[in-house]
Structure 1
Amino acid sequence: MDTASDREPRQERSRVTRARLLDAAVGCLAERGVSGATVGAVAERAGVSRGAAQHHFPTREGLLLAALRHMVESRSADLRRRADAVPAGPERTEAVVQMVVDAFSGPDFDAALQLWAAAASDPALRERVIPLEEQVGRAVHHAVVELLGADESIPGNREAVQATLDLARGLGLANLLTDDTARRRRVVAQWAVMLDRTLREPLPSTRSPRSTTKR
């Protein structure tokens, strides 16, 4: 009969194996795409048997979706750490923009892009992927608003923050094919200047005045 002390090491081994499988799935997705992220390939990369992989994730879809959730949690945790380290003063806006750009780059983002591409032609997968990516988008958007003190009730501010996220996604996509670090640095610096100016000097209201002409 198993005792509590016997079960604890087993549970820890199971947790470690699951984490290795998720990390391996992210790596396979980033490097080989969805077609290359098979259960066998993930198990081999994780250094476990195929049977052990299927014990934790009976289906390939379950493994890939768990990997996506793992990526979301990892990116969210990294965002929180970076947000805590954002400096005050004149360099703050550029540091925030760089934080956003970094949130949409790296192996986790590369792997997520592969799932996005697959979800574009797979309605069932798309239904599962969209809420998780929206979760990341909301977290990053909220962090930018909080860190820069952006008043989204002012015309143009919400759009400026959202444009920052869209810019970061675009740079992440471009970086998937080529290393454009130097160009990205210049883009980040220039966008920070423009964003700072927009938030400090908001656009006038775009709402049309009510007509006083009687009909």
Structure 2
Amino acid sequence: MNTRNIPERRSHAERSAATRQHLIATAIDVIQHRSLEEMSIHELARSAGMTSGAVQHHFESKAVLMMRVLSELVEQRVEAGQLWPARTLPAAQRATLFVQAAWDLIYAQPRFIVAWNIYLGCRNQSAVLEHIAQLRQQINAQMRDGFFDAFPELATAPDRAAFLGLVFSTLRGMGLLQLFPDTATAPAAGDSAAPQAQLQCLAGLIASRCEAAAPPRAARHGARRGPKT
């Protein structure tokens, strides 16, 4: 008997994990295309083709589900190599590559809005807020390390923490504007040209700070050549 084409039977743990992933993906889809208010356990069960009891077997409450959804959204973040440019590139090129990658891969993505919808809708749930605080601490540490590795000129600046906050607050603000589209002037869906002017300004600010922090070219060359005789 040929057994090579017979699929292996998954374990109970594997089936449970697959079901949880299906429910999380369904919850994200409901929040993204409808609203957080509509994402009840009953609606999740209906959208996922399951019973409410089966959903509650995996997530006993909406708060628990939202915490797992938020963790999933964080885990979906891009690989570091896609976000951070090589530090050997000129400052202006590094800055442009970074802000464009950050926008395209994180802040303009639907998952960014989904995460903020959950945050804004769970302000009265202390367990969810505590979970969000832990995730933000993890994300902030990763972004801080990545930014100063890509822009080492700024790593020792006295106001490095304030400047880092300015950069990411700007990107977050641009992303959050997607929650409040101006129907009269909003670009067509998928129009990536809309935020380019702001991104260019932000890249120019990062580049100018790097160039101001770098030692003068003549001083660098002189240090390599040594004193004249």
TM value normalised by structure 1? 0.78
Deviation, 1:7, is 7.5
Work out the CA distance in 1 between the residues paired with 2:120 and 2:17. 30
Given the superposition, is the C-alpha separation of residues 31 and 133 from structure 1 closer, same or farther in structure 2, using an over 3 Å criterion?
farther
Q: What amino acid sits opposite 2:180 in the alignment?
A: L
What is the alpha-carbon root mean square deviation over aligned residues?
Answer: 2.7
Does the Cα contact within 8 Å between 1:156 and 1:202 map onto a contact in 2? no
Given the superposition, is the C-alpha separation of residues 104 and 150 from structure 1 closer, same or farther in structure 2, using an over 3 Å criterion?
farther
Gaps of 5+ in 1: 1-5, 204-215
Given the superposition, is the C-alpha separation of residues 199 and 47 from structure 1 closer, same or farther in structure 2, using an over 3 Å criterion?
farther
2:165 counterpart residue number: 162
SS of 1:34's equivalent in the other structure is: coil
**1:57-102 residue CA offsets vs partner (Å, 9 max, x unmatched):** 1211111111111111112xx1425237x46634221111123334
Does the Cα contact within 8 Å between 1:79 and 1:140 map onto a contact in 2? no
Structure 2 residue corresponding to 1:190, chosen from 201, 206, 210? 201
Gaps of 5+ in 2: 1-7, 215-229
1:174 counterpart residue number: 177
TM value normalised by structure 2? 0.74
Work out the CA distance in 2 between the residues paired with 1:62 and 1:34. 14
1:49 counterpart residue number: 51
Structure 2 residue corresponding to 1:107, chosen from 101, 107, 110? 110
Given the superposition, is the C-alpha separation of residues 198 and 18 from structure 1 closer, same or farther in structure 2, using an over 3 Å criterion?
same
Does the Cα contact within 8 Å between 1:22 and 1:66 map onto a contact in 2? yes
Q: Tell me the percent identity.
A: 22
Does the Cα contact within 8 Å between 1:141 and 1:162 map onto a contact in 2? no
Q: How does 1:42-81 map to 2 (within 5 A)?
A: 42-75=44-77, 78-81=78-81
Given the superposition, is the C-alpha separation of residues 121 and 162 from structure 1 closer, same or farther in structure 2, using an over 3 Å criterion?
same
SS of 2:195's equivalent in the other structure is: helix
2:22 counterpart residue number: 20
Deviation, 1:201, is 0.7
Comparing 149-158 with 166-175, which one deviates more in the overlay?
Answer: 149-158
2:104 equivalent to 1:93: no
Does the Cα contact within 8 Å between 1:79 and 1:99 map onto a contact in 2? no
Given the superposition, is the C-alpha separation of residues 125 and 9 from structure 1 closer, same or farther in structure 2, using an over 3 Å criterion?
closer
Work out the CA distance in 2 between the residues paired with 1:172 and 1:17. 31
Higher-helix-fraction structure: 1
Deviation, 1:168, is 0.9
Comparing 133-142 with 86-95, which one deviates more in the overlay?
Answer: 86-95
Work out the CA distance in 1 between the residues paired with 2:166 and 2:153. 14
Given the superposition, is the C-alpha separation of residues 63 and 184 from structure 1 closer, same or farther in structure 2, using an over 3 Å criterion?
same
How many residue pairs end up in the alignment?
A: 196
Deviation, 1:47, is 3.4
Given the superposition, is the C-alpha separation of residues 150 and 68 from structure 1 closer, same or farther in structure 2, using an over 3 Å criterion?
farther
Q: What amino acid sits opposite 1:54 in the alignment?
A: Q
Deviation, 1:124, is 4.2
Work out the CA distance in 2 between the residues paired with 1:119 and 1:59. 13
Bigger radius of gyration: 2
Work out the CA distance in 2 between the residues paired with 1:49 and 1:174. 36
